[in-house]
Amino acid sequence: MSTVLVVAAHPDDEILGVGGTVARHAAKGDHVFGYILGEGQTSRWKERELAEEKVIQELHKNTWEAAKVVGYKNIFFADLPDNRFDQVDLLDIVKLVEEMIQQVQPEIIYTHHLGDLNIDHQRTGEAVITATRPLQNGIVKEIYTFETLSSTEWDFSYRNSFCPNVFIEVADFFEKKVEAMKCYESELCEFPHPRSVKGLEILAQKWGMTVGKNYVEAFQLVRKIQD
């Protein structure tokens, strides 16, 4: 049995990027925790202060509903400003992640690919990599980055493209991922938007086809330490 931590920037990223894998971990008895750094949605208002509190509360409610579907043991929120992580000192984000690692004691961490178009995703990945420096007696043994539909594939600069080298079969858990994503009514879109049910299916089948499987979530291994 392992302890797993998913560090995501926004509510729904913890499902989009790794929902099937979380359900697989939970099914085998692993304890999976989620840490959502950003509040979500407030960037959709002209000014953050104008955002309605009930919208954020509803989004958090959606997160709890989705978490129950795939099997998260607990979810934590940091409520950093949505799509404004570049206005927060990286050190402050790193400290938040370090505190969560000390609290949860995970052997495995999943987080955002650093080459995403979204600045919050970039900063989240950077913070995790910094917070998990491989010091002596370190807790974290494995770190994986995931792609996030409507972000990873939209970075056409190709500065740091997502190049997965770990492929996890989620055929038995894909329907749970879809059910969890449907909890986010404000985030789920209609196809051909990538953040749609069909988009999720196409991506899972694409990576499945790549490695001779049906439905797969793909990850880029950052580091794995074998004792």
pLDDT of residue 2 exceeding 90, the answer is yes
- Mean pLDDT score of the chain, rounded to an integer? 94
Question: Of 129 and 187, which is predicted with more confidence?
Answer: 129
Q: CA–CA separation, 88 vs 127, rounded Å?
A: 11
Rounded alpha-carbon distances, angstroms, from residue 92 to 7, 48, 88, 119 = 15, 20, 7, 16
pLDDT, tens only, 14-27: 999 999 999 999 99
- Where helices occur in 71-138 by DSSP H, the ranges are 90-104, 119-131
Query: What's the residue count for the chain?
Result: 227
pLDDT of residue 173 exceeding 70, the answer is yes
The pLDDT of 148-177, averaged and rounded, is 94
The pLDDT of 161-179, averaged and rounded, is 97
**Dihedral angle computed from the Cα positions of residues 169, 173, 175 and 181, in that order, rounded to the nearest 10 degrees:** -90
Three-class secondary structure of residue 110 per DSSP: strand
The pLDDT of 112-127, averaged and rounded, is 96
pLDDT of residue 45 exceeding 90, the answer is no
Q: Give 57's pLDDT tier (boundaries 50, 70, 90).
A: confident
Predicted structure pTM score: 0.95
Q: Give 37's pLDDT tier (boundaries 50, 70, 90).
A: very high
CA 69 to chain centroid, in Å, comes to 16
**Dihedral angle computed from the Cα positions of residues 185, 190, 191 and 196, in that order, rounded to the nearest 10 degrees:** 0
State residue 40's pLDDT score: 72
Strand pairing of 166-169 and 216-224?
antiparallel
Percent of the chain with pLDDT over 90: 82
The pLDDT of 142-147, averaged and rounded, is 98
pLDDT of residue 136 exceeding 90, the answer is no
Residue ranges of domains in the chain, CATH in brackets: 3-224 (3.40.50.10320)
State residue 159's pLDDT score: 81
The pLDDT of 56-71, averaged and rounded, is 94
Percent of the chain with pLDDT over 70: 95
State residue 60's pLDDT score: 92
pLDDT of residue 82 exceeding 90, the answer is no
Q: Which amino acid is at 77?
A: F
Give me the phi and psi of 212, to 5 degrees please. Answer: 75, 30
